[in-house]
Structure 1
Amino acid sequence: MCRQFAEVTELIDRLRQEMRPGERPPPPFVDADPENLTMNRLQELRAHLRHLQSEKDNRIKKMAELTSSLHASSSVLGMDPQEITTSLQEAGAGAGDISDGAIARLESEAERLREAKRGRMQRLQDLVVAMLELWSLMDTPPEEQSRFQGVACNVAASEDEITEPGALSATAIGEVEAEVARLEGLKGRRMKDLLARKRGELREI
């Protein structure tokens, strides 16, 4: 039975260190009171081991979900997911790390990217609304609008619906900004031309 106790406690210690590496380990097995080496105690330790194994499985699942979210957000933002993963590993969140610290770092980075996604989405939607209004005002022909149709479709999309790689990249937003600036410039020139014509008509009266 001593061997069974040793095997179970070794597995428990190993799992504890995987999940909470900074936690002070319990007293070594060799210091255990022989009177405690009963079948009931062994069953208690095995139950605790199963609990830790279940917790480990949940942590692995959570890390996979966070990594998937991080990769999805970075792709939409036009970033390289591998670069972000590498930076996290350099910060201490290595591959296979399921410690509290690794999960916290991944949660923080995933939330940072979600915030960036929401911010860019709002910026893009504001630009698209302005662009659509200017297209209508300036009677912009369909052929000039066509290259922005994909972007325009995102004006009413929710955060989860925008999944296309690069849809919220700095380049994509910059292109819409440039189009809005072009239309604003065209609008300004037309207003000047209209004002000049009106003044000319008034002088002829």
Structure 2
Amino acid sequence: MKGFYETELQIARICIEIAGNDRSIDSADPEIDERDLTVKRLGELKSHLKELQNEKSLRLQKVNSSIKTIHELSVVMSIDFFKTVNEVHPSLSDPSKAQSKSISNDTLARLTSTIHSLQQEKQQRLEKLQGLGRKLIELWDLMDTPADERRLDHVTTLISASVDNVSRLGCLAADVIEQTEVEAERLNVLKASKMKELVFKRQNELEEIYRGVHMDVDSDAARQILISLIESGNVDMSDLLGSMDDQIIKAKEQALSRKDILDRVEKWKFCI
């Protein structure tokens, strides 16, 4: 009777854990069928108990693996890990209850759903930061920002990263995204005021190239045209800068071809 009772009690407790109902495990009080107290029947019960123990062990492994995954995702995004797992089931947030964690179907399903939600959030945050990172680089390059002034390089390093490879502590935190958005907005405002300066800087470079090979250039007329374009508001400043960069490249090519001729002229003058 004692063997039957202890075996049935363990079976009842594991069944309650798997079912995940509100009934207390301590209240499990199995009823023994005294009509069959054979060794064969006891063996069958112990075999069933072994199967349930294996099932419990597998479920506990799944729970622990899910908790580990949630912790890793929480660390990357600076999300409150204990609050997250506590919302799934209170037993999961208490380290002292390692062997009494909920292993019910509902808990496993909620853990899976939580992981899916966190993975989606991670993907969305990464994509947002990657977009902001590309915007920062574009603005830095556009305004010739020195390397030592290019802040938030920890964001730009994520541009080519895949979501599975992003694991650095807090790199996808909400405050990091907010900080990056603020910086991008600051640069946008700065861009508007600095673009005019950059356009004339390109124009100076262009004129220097022409002067270096004794090519005539009407600086005043060129600058007046640029001022009219900028003040009209009908030109995209990025496109204008790109166009001027193209002009600079062509001017350098022309200057290089003329330099050979000028060098020959200088040698000819020297000979005379």
Task: Report the TM-score, using the length of structure 1 for normalisation.
Answer: 0.81
SS in 1 for 2:102: coil
**What is the alpha-carbon distance in structure 2 between the residues aligned to residue 159 and residue 54 of structure 1?**
34
Kept after mapping to 1: 8 A contact 2:143/2:191: yes
Q: Which residue of 1 aligns with 2:140?
A: 135
Q: Which residue of 2 aligns with 1:50?
A: 50
**What is the alpha-carbon distance in structure 1 between the residues aligned to residue 117 and residue 78 of structure 2?**
15
Q: Which residue of 2 aligns with 1:68?
A: 68
- Structure 1 position 40, deviation (Å): 2.8
Q: Which residue of 1 aligns with 2:17?
A: 18
- Structure 1 position 51, deviation (Å): 0.9
Are residues 1:144 and 2:149 paired?
yes
Residue identity opposite 2:71 in structure 1: H
Counting matched residue pairs gives 197
**What is the alpha-carbon distance in structure 2 between the residues aligned to residue 131 and residue 99 of structure 1?**
48
Kept after mapping to 2: 8 A contact 1:5/1:42: yes
Residue identity opposite 1:29 in structure 2: E
Inter-CA distance 136–94: structure 2 relative to 1 (3 Å threshold) = closer
Kept after mapping to 1: 8 A contact 2:82/2:93: no
Kept after mapping to 2: 8 A contact 1:8/1:45: yes
Kept after mapping to 2: 8 A contact 1:127/1:176: yes
Unaligned ranges ≥5, structure 1: none
Kept after mapping to 1: 8 A contact 2:17/2:102: yes
Residue identity opposite 1:189 in structure 2: S
1:50-86 per-residue CA deviation (whole Å, 9 max, x = no partner) reads 1111111111111111111111111211222223234
SS in 2 for 1:155: coil
SS in 1 for 2:187: helix
Larger relative contact order, structure 1 or 2 (CA cutoff 8 Å, min sep 6): 1
Kept after mapping to 2: 8 A contact 1:70/1:110: yes
1:16-42 per-residue CA deviation (whole Å, 9 max, x = no partner) reads 011113399xx9533x262x4333322
Looking at CA atoms only, which structure, 1 or 2, has the larger radius of gyration?
2
Alignment partner for residue 225 of structure 2, among 193, 198, 202?
Answer: 202
Q: Which residue of 1 aligns with 2:31?
A: 29
Alignment partner for residue 176 of structure 2, among 165, 169, 172?
Answer: 172
What's the C-alpha RMSD, in Å, of the aligned pairs? 3.0
Residue identity opposite 2:225 in structure 1: L
SS in 1 for 2:103: coil
1:102-154 per-residue CA deviation (whole Å, 9 max, x = no partner) reads 22222222222221111101111111112122222221100111x32222111
**What is the alpha-carbon distance in structure 1 between the residues aligned to residue 93 and residue 148 of structure 2?**
50
Of all paired residues, the percent bearing the same amino acid is 32
- Structure 1 position 192, deviation (Å): 4.7
SS in 2 for 1:29: coil
Task: Report the TM-score, using the length of structure 2 for normalisation.
Answer: 0.63
**What is the alpha-carbon distance in structure 2 between the residues aligned to residue 138 and residue 159 of structure 1?**
30
